[in-house]
């Protein structure tokens, strides 16, 4: 399956039928996820040090997306999110921070289009899905990877 076909399948499985559609019914992203890793963001300066408190607070910790809130370590915690799933192109990933979007998105495992969960929360965190069970978000020149927690 090509990455474009996989992205389309992901969008359909998440209930989004267009770039600006909200998920129908129970969104597939709901549930418990774990932040499993972090890497320097492509736009970060070489040799830049990660914020140690971010790594400690996030890596290995859970993020639980509920209909009415996000239970997670700060700064991801959110009361009353306004979820929207949208189709993003590489130039929109990580709030438009990629310096060579197509090339860097491909290196990160993304195709020409990917499902993105916009939370509508104060920190404006977006979660960009690599597939139905993994996503990434950016914070302080780092990319963090989440994986769906298996029951």
Kindly give, in sequence order, each residue whose CB lies less than 8 Å from that of residue 26, ignoring residues fewer than 6 positions away.
none
Q: What count of other Cβ atoms lies within 10 Å of the Cβ of residue 15?
A: 17
pLDDT (tens digit per residue) in 48-82? 889 999 999 999 999 999 999 999 999 999 999 99
**HEC string for 40-84:** ECCCCCCCCCCCHHHHHHHCCCEEEECCCEEECCCCCCEECCCCE
Measured between alpha carbons, how far is 82 from 49 in angstroms, rounded to an integer? Answer: 33
Instruction: Give the global pTM.
Output: 0.80
Nearest-CA neighbor of 69 among 59, 79, 60?
79
Query: Contact at 8 Å (CB) between 127 and 10?
Result: no
Query: What proportions of the chain, in percent to the nearest 5, are helix, strand and coil?
Result: 20, 30, 45
**pLDDT > 90 fraction of the chain, expressed in percent and rounded:** 75
Q: What is the pLDDT of residue 62?
A: 98
Q: What is the pLDDT of residue 121?
A: 92
Q: Residue 91: pLDDT above 80?
A: yes
């Amino acid at each position: 399956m090509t990455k474009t076909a996989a992205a389309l399948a992901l969008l359909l499985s998440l209930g989004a039928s267009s770039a600006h559609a909200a998920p129908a019914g129970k969104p597939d992203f709901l549930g418990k996820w774990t932040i499993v890793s972090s890497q320097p963001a492509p736009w970060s300066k070489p040799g830049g040090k990660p914020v140690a408190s971010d790594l400690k607070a996030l890596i290995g910790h859970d993020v639980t997306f509920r209909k009415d809130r996000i239970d997670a370590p700060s700064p991801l915690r959110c009361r009353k999110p306004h979820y929207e799933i949208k189709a993003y192109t590489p130039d929109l990933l990580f709030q438009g921070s990629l310096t060579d979007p197509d090339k860097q998105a491909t290196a990160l495992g993304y195709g020409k289009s990917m499902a993105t969960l916009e939370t509508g929360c104060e920190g404006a965190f977006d979660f960009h899905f690599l597939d139905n069970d993994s996503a990434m978000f950016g914070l302080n020149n780092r990319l963090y990877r989440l994986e769906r927690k298996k029951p």
